[in-house]
């Protein structure tokens, strides 16, 4: 029998096995393909019936480490440009191991004053980093999606109160639909949050001036005026995933002020615009938002999963989430905070340690250097694409996003969508470097997000090399 009580002396030895694998794995990440063709088969090799008699701690961990380091998608390496995926800085990764080691229950101050206090410190540092006023409340969430749920739940309670309803106690019955107005830059996760909150994902209204999705402010204002004083929510988007575009937050904040609306900002990765003077203007007006969403596992480069929500009035958080006779936030510095009364989770992981560790290790300067390196790498890729006869840049490079397609001379326009769709598939099959396929402005495009601390110029140069090789293979296959 391998009862964990009997096997407990193996805990440190098991950790040592992970540690011993870590060095070679991390050193190898730079040269590993993003994806190994045998990954699925290897993963399946862990299956079979539930073991009646356990393998024991060390044997089990040895097997997992061996399979996992090989079958993992090496998205934390330098060449995963699909979606928006950060790596894990050395300090953040070590802090994540520490989090597992001490296994804190981070929801209640009584279960871990350490976790609660470090969360407060980490949130304070993030506010400083992004230029969000210190008076804002906040909470660490598993993701930007859950940060939207947090911010929009606060908005919903505010909105219902304006209709004379305590939505936390009574629910939405009898209320009209909550008006939510935004530009065409909105991310699908905002709809998902509205769907979770019972507000309906299709109630979102987009005001775009053209197919880039950029906001049509006069139309947005006209819609607010039509509401005739009824409360509404405006969603501003700082950093959009296809072309890196952003809404004019200051102008949206003016509208929110004029019409008494709630301003929610999605800055999942775009918040980091505030970190460099080169891009800080994009974040102007952020400090005027009522709720703000950010992601940790993207440009902050802490491990999955981590997001954060900031709320102008901390008491809105307590109203929306303080289900258990919670009192309002104590005002005194160093006060005891129960973070499970400030966000959607109850029992929760102490995600604050990696956030604290990475900000402590690299500071504002280190983050500014990293963000500016990514801006440079994105511009470099944009330039290479723009100058190449066989690629076409489809949007100006903004923040960390490059949007382009393969368009070799002689291929007619009506063939390009099919060609790029094929190429995108084949690129993922090749596995050396990942970029995403997307539909942008009616075209099939390739898009890259550069937010991993490991990524440098040769990594994006390799993307173009691999795309050309894969395209040549496809063309050879097509030849009769």
Ligand X SMILES: *Cc1c(COP(=O)(O)O)cnc(C)c1O
Residue ranges that bind ligand X, judged by CB under 6 A: 84, 143-145, 187, 189, 239, 241, 266, 268-269, 295, 307
Listed in sequence order, the residues at least 6 apart from 288 whose beta carbon sits closer than 8 Å to its beta carbon are 249, 250, 253, 256, 257, 263
Which is closer to ligand X, CB of 108 or CB of 352?
352
Q: How far is the CB of 100 from ligand X (least distance, A)?
A: 21
**Nearest distance from C-beta of residue 142 to ligand X, angstroms:** 8
Long-range contacts of the stretch 322-330 (C-beta < 8 A, 24+):
323/168, 329/137
Residue 82 or 156 with smaller CB distance to ligand X: 82
What's the 3-state SS for 143-192?
Answer: CHHHHHHHHHHHHHHHHHHHCCCCHHHHCCCCCCCCCEEECCCCCHHHHH
Least distance CB 285 / ligand X (angstroms): 17
Least distance from ligand X to the Cβ atom of residue 231, Å: 24
* Closer to ligand X by Cβ: residue 80 or 259: 80
The secondary structure element, H or E, covering residue 382 is: helix 352-387
Closest CA to 90 of 275, 354, 272, 294: 354
Closest CB to ligand X among residues 152, 318: 152
Q: Which two tokens stand for residue 422?
A: 């094929």
CB of 133 to ligand X, least distance (A): 22
Least distance (Å) between residue 213 CB and ligand X: 12
Please identify, using beta-carbon distances, which residue of 302 and 384 lies nearer to ligand X.
302
Instruction: Provide the token pair at 424.
Output: 């995108």
Contact 204, 190 (CB under 8 A): yes
> Based on CB atoms, which residue is closest to ligand X, 84 or 93?
84
Omega of the bond prior to 305 within 30 degrees of 0, cis? yes
Helices (H), 260-351: 314-321
User: Which of 215/471 has CB closer to ligand X?
Assistant: 215
Minimum distance from residue 325 beta carbon to ligand X (Å): 30
Q: How far is the CB of 190 from ligand X (least distance, A)?
A: 7
Based on CB atoms, which residue is closest to ligand X, 104 or 293? 293
Closest distance of CB 144 from ligand X, Å: 3
Nearer to ligand X, 145 or 420 (CB): 145
Q: Are 199 and 151 in contact (CB under 8 A)?
A: no
Encoded tokens for 200 = 């309906």
- Identify any residues that bridge with 404 across adjacent strands, giving them in sequence order: 393, 446
Per-residue burial over 407-441, b if 16 or more Cβ lie within 10 Å, else e, is beeeeeeeebeebbebbbebbbebbbbbbbbbebe
If the CB atoms of residues 231 and 239 are measured against ligand X, the closer one turns out to be 239
The torsion of the CA quartet 368, 369, 371, 376, rounded to 10 degrees, works out to: 140
- How many CB atoms lie under 10 A from the CB of residue 205? 13
CB of 148 to ligand X, least distance (A): 7
Order of strands, sheet of 307-311, starting from the edge strand that comes earlier in the sequence: 137-141, 307-311, 291-295, 262-266, 233-237, 180-182, 204-206
Q: What is the Cα 342 distance to its own chain's centre?
A: 20
What token pair was written down for 337?
């905070």
Task: Report angle CA 10, 16, 21 to the nearest 5 degrees.
Answer: 135
């Amino acid at each position: 029998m391998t009862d964990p009580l009997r096997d407990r002396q193996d805990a440190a030895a098991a950790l040592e096995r992970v540690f011993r694998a870590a060095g070679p794995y991390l050193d190898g990440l730079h040269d590993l393909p993003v994806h190994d063709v045998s990954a699925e088969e290897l993963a399946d090799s862990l299956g079979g019936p539930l073991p009646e008699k356990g393998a024991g701690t060390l044997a089990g961990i040895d097997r997992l480490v061996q399979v996992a380091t090989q079958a993992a998608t090496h998205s934390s390496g330098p060449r995963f440009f699909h979606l928006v995926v950060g790596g894990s800085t050395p300090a953040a990764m070590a802090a994540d191991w520490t989090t597992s080691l001490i296994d804190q229950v981070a929801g209640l101050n009584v279960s871990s004053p350490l976790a609660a206090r470090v969360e407060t410190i980490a949130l304070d540092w993030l506010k400083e980093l992004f230029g969000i006023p210190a008076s804002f409340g906040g909470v660490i969430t598993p993701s930007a999606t859950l940060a939207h749920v947090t911010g929009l739940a606060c908005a919903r309670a505010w909105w219902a109160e304006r209709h004379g309803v305590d939505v936390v106690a009574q629910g939405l019955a009898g209320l009209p639909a909550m008006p939510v107005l935004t530009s065409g830059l909105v991310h699908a996760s905002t709809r998902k949050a509205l769907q979770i909150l019972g507000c309906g994902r299709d109630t979102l209204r987009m005001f775009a001036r053209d197919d880039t999705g950029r906001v049509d402010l006069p139309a947005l204002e006209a819609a607010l005026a039509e509401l005739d004083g009824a409360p509404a929510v405006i969603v501003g988007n700082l950093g959009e995933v296809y072309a890196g575009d952003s809404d004019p937050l200051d102008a949206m904040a003016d509208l929110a002020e004029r019409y008494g609306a709630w301003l929610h900002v999605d800055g999942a990765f775009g918040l980091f615009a505030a970190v460099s003077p080169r891009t800080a203007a994009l974040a102007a007006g952020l400090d005027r938002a009522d709720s703000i969403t950010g992601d940790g596992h993207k440009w902050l480069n802490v491990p999955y999963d981590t997001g954060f929500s900031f709320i102008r009035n901390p008491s809105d958080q307590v109203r929306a989430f303080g289900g258990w006779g919670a009192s309002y936030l104590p005002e005194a510095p160093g006060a005891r905070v129960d973070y499970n009364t400030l966000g959607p989770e109850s029992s929760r992981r102490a995600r604050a340690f990696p956030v604290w560790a990475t900000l402590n290790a690299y500071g504002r300067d280190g983050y500014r250097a990293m963000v500016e390196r990514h801006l440079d790498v994105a511009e470099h890729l944009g330039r290479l694409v723009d100058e190449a006869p066989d690629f076409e840049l489809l949007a100006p490079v903004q923040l960390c996003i490059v949007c382009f397609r393969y368009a070799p001379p002689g291929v007619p326009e009506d063939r390009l969508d099919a060609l790029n769709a094929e190429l995108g598939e084949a690129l993922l099959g090749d596995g050396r470097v990942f970029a995403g396929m997307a539909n942008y402005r009616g075209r099939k495009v390739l898009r890259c997000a550069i937010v991993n601390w490991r990524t440098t110029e040769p990594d994006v140069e390799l993307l173009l090399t691999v795309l050309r090789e894969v395209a040549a293979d496809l063309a050879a296959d097509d030849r009769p």
